[in-house]
């Protein structure tokens, strides 16, 4: 049995009629840049998330940059985030010439440990950037309370968590600004690069809309230094075809995660989802002690796996200038050495889940 990790081919086959028709409509109109599908998608995203403004953009990375541009983050400002995340989280902070200040994670959820944030605040701190890792929001009540106390902004890197919830609100509708990625393998993916920024703040929304088109407020009138950060119309058309199925996909992912947990939790440390949250299950991630050997065995059994992420950001070469060292963030370092993500997509069959689970248990 050969299992597909994200199974984008089957996904396309399932929605092919609608996706093809939507792409063809864009080709017929040739409205490739900021066509009406982009605006239609933004209205649909607002409805889905409950956020007042959804502003699409070129990627989850650019969404983070746009969020910080809207907040007027300045060189030397400090932004508190987690070292156990994809590089883009801290990379974009550094691109703004601000300083990423890392705070360790909770060992069970893999998300930033909100109880450690206060100790990292200085008079240069401007924002907190939690990441909803693997699909589950961080401890937003505590994070928001700290932000309120110290007058800080909250930017949620929700690249992996579109559709997840915290106290029954989507995580696109929390913090000052929330972002997501539509990278193909993300829970809601387009067929190229794409992303979105969400906010309930009218002023931020106005600025982000300008920033994604080179800071212009009128054609060829540039109020700000911005960027080329638009979502292609074809990608918007693809997302419009996929969105009607997304709630069902989330429910299917939840069920698949539960099947994995039922099969594995006696022997392995399976994901912990807090009772006031739901995950979008971008990844189903367990911890093992023999990761390299296990990955090889699973590969022989037709089971692809992935490691998100093998090196925490404070130990990456590009962040040497921050002068962090091994041992600074022990929970992140431990997680980096042990995590392994199993195939996860809404089309996994019970047989496939069983095959993965049995192969895993036979080799840990």
Ligand X SMILES: Cc1ncc(COP(=O)(O)O)c(C=O)c1O
Can residue 35 be called a binding residue for ligand X (CB under 6 A)?
no
Q: Helices 233-242 and 36-49 meet at what angle, rounded to 10?
A: 40
Tell me the closest approach of the beta carbon of residue 193 to ligand X, in angstroms.
Answer: 6
Q: What residues from 165 to 184 belong to the interface with ligand X (CB under 6 A)?
A: 181, 183
Can residue 157 be called a binding residue for ligand X (CB under 6 A)?
yes
Tell me the closest approach of the beta carbon of residue 137 to ligand X, in angstroms.
Answer: 12
Can residue 60 be called a binding residue for ligand X (CB under 6 A)?
yes
From 68, 105, 114, 131, residue interacting with ligand X (rule: CB under 6 A): 131
Q: Is residue 24 helix, strand or coil?
A: helix
Can residue 110 be called a binding residue for ligand X (CB under 6 A)?
no
DSSP string for residues in 240-303: HHHGGGHHHHHHHHHHHHHHHHHHHTTTSB-----TTEE---S-EEEE-S-HHHHHHHHHHTT-
Can residue 160 be called a binding residue for ligand X (CB under 6 A)?
yes
* Contact (Cβ atoms closer than 8 angstroms) between residue 226 and residue 215: yes
From 69, 140, 159, 353, residue interacting with ligand X (rule: CB under 6 A): 159
List the beta bridge partners of residue 342: 284
Please tell me the count of residues contacting ligand X according to CB under 6 A: 15
Q: Which stretch binds ligand X (CB under 6 A): 4-12, 31-39, 153-161, 240-248?
A: 153-161
Give CA 28 to chain center in angstroms.
Answer: 33
Which of 227/268 has CB closer to ligand X? 227
Can residue 336 be called a binding residue for ligand X (CB under 6 A)?
no
Q: Give the C-alpha distances (Å, rounded to integers) separating 93 from 22, 74, 100, 148, 219.
A: 36, 10, 6, 21, 29
From 7, 11, 59, 111, residue interacting with ligand X (rule: CB under 6 A): 59
Can residue 164 be called a binding residue for ligand X (CB under 6 A)?
no
Give CA 208 to chain center in angstroms.
Answer: 19
Can residue 61 be called a binding residue for ligand X (CB under 6 A)?
yes
Fill in the per-residue mask, 62 to 101: x = in contact with ligand X (CB under 6 A), - = not in contact.
Answer: -----------------------xx-xx------------
Tell me the closest approach of the beta carbon of residue 44 to ligand X, in angstroms.
Answer: 19
Which of 185/268 has CB closer to ligand X? 185
* Contact (Cβ atoms closer than 8 angstroms) between residue 271 and residue 257: yes
Pick from 62, 156, 142: nearest CA to 106? 142
> Count of residues for the chain?
364
List the beta bridge partners of residue 125: 78
**Residues in touch with ligand X (CB under 6 A):** 59-61, 85-86, 88-89, 131, 157, 159-160, 181, 183, 193, 195
């Amino acid at each position: 049995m050969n299992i597909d990790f994200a199974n984008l081919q089957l996904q396309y086959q399932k929605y092919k009629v609608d996706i093809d028709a939507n792409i063809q409509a864009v080709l017929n109109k040739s409205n490739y840049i900021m066509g009406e599908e982009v605006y239609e998608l933004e209205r649909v995203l607002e409805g889905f998330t409950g956020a007042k403004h959804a502003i699409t953009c070129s990627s989850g990375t650019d969404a983070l940059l746009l969020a910080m541009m809207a907040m007027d983050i300045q060189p030397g400002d400090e932004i508190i985030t987690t070292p156990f995340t994809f590089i883009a989280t801290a990379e974009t902070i550094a691109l703004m010439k601000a300083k990423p200040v890392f705070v360790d994670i909770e060992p069970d959820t893999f998300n930033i440990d909100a109880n450690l944030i206060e100790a990292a605040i200085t008079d240069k701190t401007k924002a907190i950037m939690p990441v909803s890792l693997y699909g589950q929001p961080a401890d937003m009540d505590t994070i928001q309370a700290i932000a309120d106390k110290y007058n800080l902004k909250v930017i949620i890197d929700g690249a992996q968590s579109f559709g997840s919830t915290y106290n029954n609100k989507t995580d696109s509708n929390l913090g000052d600004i929330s972002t997501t990625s539509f990278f193909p393998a993300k829970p809601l993916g387009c067929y190229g690069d794409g992303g979105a920024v969400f906010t309930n703040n009218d002023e931020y929304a106005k600025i982000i809309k300008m920033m994604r088109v080179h800071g212009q407020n009128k054609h060829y009138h540039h109020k700000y230094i911005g960027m080329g950060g638009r979502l292609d119309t074809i990608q918007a058309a693809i997302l419009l075809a996929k969105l009607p199925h997304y709630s069902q996909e989330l429910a299917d992912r939840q069920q698949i995660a539960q099947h994995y947990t039922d099969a594995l939790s006696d022997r392995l440390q399976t994901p912990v989802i807090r009772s006031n949250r739901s995950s979008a299950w971008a990844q189903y991630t367990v911890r093992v002690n023999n990761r390299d050997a296990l990955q090889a065995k699973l590969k022989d059994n037709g089971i692809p796996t992935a490691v998100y992420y093998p090196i925490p950001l404070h130990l990456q070469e590009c962040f040497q200038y921050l002068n962090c060292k091994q041992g600074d963030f022990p929970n992140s370092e431990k997680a980096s050495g042990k995590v392994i993500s199993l195939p996860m997509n809404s089309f996994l069959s019970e047989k496939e889940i069983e095959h993965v689970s049995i192969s895993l248990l036979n080799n840990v």
